[in-house]
């Protein structure tokens, strides 16, 4: 058990807290620090998803009130990396990080996939560092800045700097004080300025994921969300075939080649390694969360809603829908509460079936509705309904001609014949 523990700064990452512990402990070697914190053993200090948190929590004096769960969720990148995995996988990853064998956890959550060229480095915001030294006498590593796909500081709107050496350079069980790390520019100023809007948006998403535990869903639900949004954008057929060429070209246009060049996304290959295609497959393994974030932003979906609100494809808009029976008291009034939507495979279009409960008149039309006038279109009459039948019979009883009834009621002569015989 250790006798003190540094109070974490705002959004400080565990590695940084432990490095500050090392510095203050007066330990002359990382080995002794590892003894203090983890009872020795072979620890591979990982900055993003560190394991052995049960032992660490036991070694921190109880009065500080840390549990292994809190350490993992508040001071590592766990929340970010587990946002798009299902509840079962998230729990599995949590247990692995609590225990002493965290090997494989990166693969489970998709963090093993390299998504940017510069991976495994320390990153800092030069202005945050300056302010922290002024305010606290020391700077620290921020969680959000250590995410490989984060390139800027949202608070100061400047590019982050990156360490000259990768983290592994400092040794397997190291807790390098920030003072000893040298930093260099990461992205050019031009790239930063040209793409500021994208950088800021992606940072906002990541901040949200780090500080909130999302309502985890499985990949089938996630894929459905994407497909329904693509259907709304006419980038996916009603039956579910994604117009991948159009999606890709729009995606590239949306972000621009310069911004996308920062990521290793495999957009341009036409085979199965094409990641957008892969993400929309019925079955896939977990992918790096940045891929979801880029897609969600491109599709214009609100991140919080993505996890909490099912995206429904509504080719006929929201109900209630109108009755189009001219002789119904509710003609042109929104009285149809629910409709049936099917897909016409040969036309590759959705077909809506609208039934008025008041008169029984039922019609269908192909969608999607693209303008207000479409709401008044009858593609095909499925059944004319009770109200019509009564009307035809009543006119027939008066002895008027079929042609007259047809004209008067606006239905075909054959239909009239059907009901007067
Ligand atoms: Zn900053
Ligand atoms: Zn009606």
Peptide bond preceding 320 in cis form (omega within 30 of 0)? yes
* Whether residue 115 has pLDDT greater than 80: no
Question: Is 227 in the same domain as 346?
Answer: no
Residues 155 and 265 in one domain: no
Residue 314 lies in a domain: no
Structurally, how many domains does the chain consist of?
3
The predicted model gives 368-385 an average pLDDT of 90
The answer to whether residue 291 is domain-embedded is: yes
Say whether pLDDT at 373 is over 60: yes
Structure confidence at residue 272 as a pLDDT band (50, 70, 90): very low
210 within a domain of the structure (yes/no): no
Out of 179, 194, 209, pick the residue that ends a domain.
194
Looking at the structure, tell me whether residues 112 and 50 fall in a common domain: yes
% of the chain exceeding 90 in pLDDT:
60
Q: Residue 224 — very low, low, confident or very high, per pLDDT cuts 50/70/90? A: very high
Is pLDDT larger for residue 208 or for residue 396?
A: 208
pLDDT higher at 111 or 142: 142
> Does 250 fall in a domain?
yes
> Given 308, 340, 367, which residue is the final one in a domain?
308
**Domain end (from 308, 342, 362):** 308
Task: Tell me the ligand closest to 357's alpha carbon.
Answer: 2
Q: Are residues 291 and 405 in the same domain?
A: no
Sign of CA dihedral 178, 182, 186, 188: positive
Domain membership of residue 204 (yes or no) is no
Same domain assignment for residues 259 and 379? no
77 and 189 share one domain: yes
Neighbours of ion ligand 1 (CB under 5 A): 125, 127-128, 153, 155-156
Task: For residue 235, tell me if it sits in a domain.
Answer: yes
Indicate if 83 and 62 belong to the same structural domain: yes
Q: How far is the CA of 386 from the centre of ligand 2 (A)?
A: 10
Assess if residue 102 is contained within a domain: yes
Q: Say how far apart CA 349 and CA 23 lie, in whole Å.
A: 66
pTM > 0.85:
no
Q: Within this chain, do residues 73 and 178 fall inside the same structural domain, yes or no?
A: yes
- In this structure, is residue 45 part of a structural domain? yes
Residues 182 and 237 both lie in one domain: no
**152 shares a domain with 77:** yes
- Give residue 63's domain range: 14-194
Shortest-distance ligand to the CA of residue 359: 2
Q: What is the mean pLDDT of the chain?
A: 90
The string over 366-404, giving b where at least 16 C-beta atoms fall within 10 Å of a residue's C-beta and e elsewhere, is bbbbeeeeebeeeeebeebbebbbebbeebbeeeeebee
Q: Are residues 151 and 264 in the same domain?
A: no
Q: Which residues pair with 142 in a beta bridge?
A: 12
Residue 154 CA to ligand 1 center (angstroms) comes to: 7
Token representation of residue 3: 């006798």
What integer pLDDT is reported at residue 419 of this predicted model?
Answer: 81
Same domain membership, residue 174 and residue 46: yes
The C-alpha atoms of residue 253 and residue 367 are separated, in whole angstroms, by 28
């Amino acid at each position: 058990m250790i006798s003190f523990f540094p109070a974490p700064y705002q959004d400080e990452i565990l590695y940084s807290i432990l490095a500050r512990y090392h510095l203050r402990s007066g330990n002359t070697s990382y080995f002794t620090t590892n003894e203090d914190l983890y009872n020795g053993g072979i620890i591979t200090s990982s900055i993003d998803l560190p394991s052995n948190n049960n032992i660490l929590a036991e070694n921190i004096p109880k009065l500080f009130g840390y549990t292994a769960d809190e350490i993992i969720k508040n001071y590592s990148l766990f929340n970010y990396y587990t946002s798009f995995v299902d509840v079962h996988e998230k729990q599995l990853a949590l247990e692995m990080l609590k225990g002493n064998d965290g090997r494989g956890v990166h693969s489970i959550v998709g963090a093993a996939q390299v998504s940017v060229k510069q991976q495994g480095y320390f990153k800092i915001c030069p202005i945050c560092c300056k302010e922290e030294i002024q305010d606290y006498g020391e700077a620290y590593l921020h969680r959000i800045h250590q995410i490989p796909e984060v390139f800027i500081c949202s608070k100061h709107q400047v590019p982050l700097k990156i360490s000259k050496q990768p983290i592994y350079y400092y040794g397997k069980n190291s807790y390098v004080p920030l003072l000893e790390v040298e930093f260099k520019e990461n992205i050019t100023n031009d790239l930063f300025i040209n793409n500021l809007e994208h950088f800021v948006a992606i940072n906002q998403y990541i901040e949200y994921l780090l500080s909130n535990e999302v309502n985890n869903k499985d990949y089938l639900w996630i894929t459905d969300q994407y497909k329904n949004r693509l259907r709304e954008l006419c980038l996916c057929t009603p039956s579910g075939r994604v117009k991948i060429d159009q999606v890709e070209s729009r995606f590239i246009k949306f972000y621009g080649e310069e911004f996308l060049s920062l990521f290793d996304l495999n957009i341009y290959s036409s085979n199965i390694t094409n990641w957008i295609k892969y993400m929309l497959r019925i079955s896939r393994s977990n992918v790096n969360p940045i891929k979801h974030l880029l897609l969600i932003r491109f599709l214009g979906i609100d991140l919080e809603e993505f996890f909490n609100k099912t995206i429904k494809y509504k080719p006929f808009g929201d109900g209630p829908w109108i009755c189009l029976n001219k002789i119904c008291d509710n003609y042109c009034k929104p009285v149809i509460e629910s409709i049936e939507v099917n897909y016409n495979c040969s036309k590759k279009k959705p077909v809506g079936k609208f039934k008025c409960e008041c008169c029984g008149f039922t019609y269908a039309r192909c969608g999607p509705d693209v303008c207000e006038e479409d709401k008044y279109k009858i593609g095909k009459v499925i059944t004319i309904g009770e109200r019509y039948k009564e009307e035809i019979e009543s006119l027939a009883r008066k002895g008027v001609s079929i042609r007259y009834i047809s004209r008067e009621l606006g239905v075909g002569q054959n239909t009239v014949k059907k009901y007067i015989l």
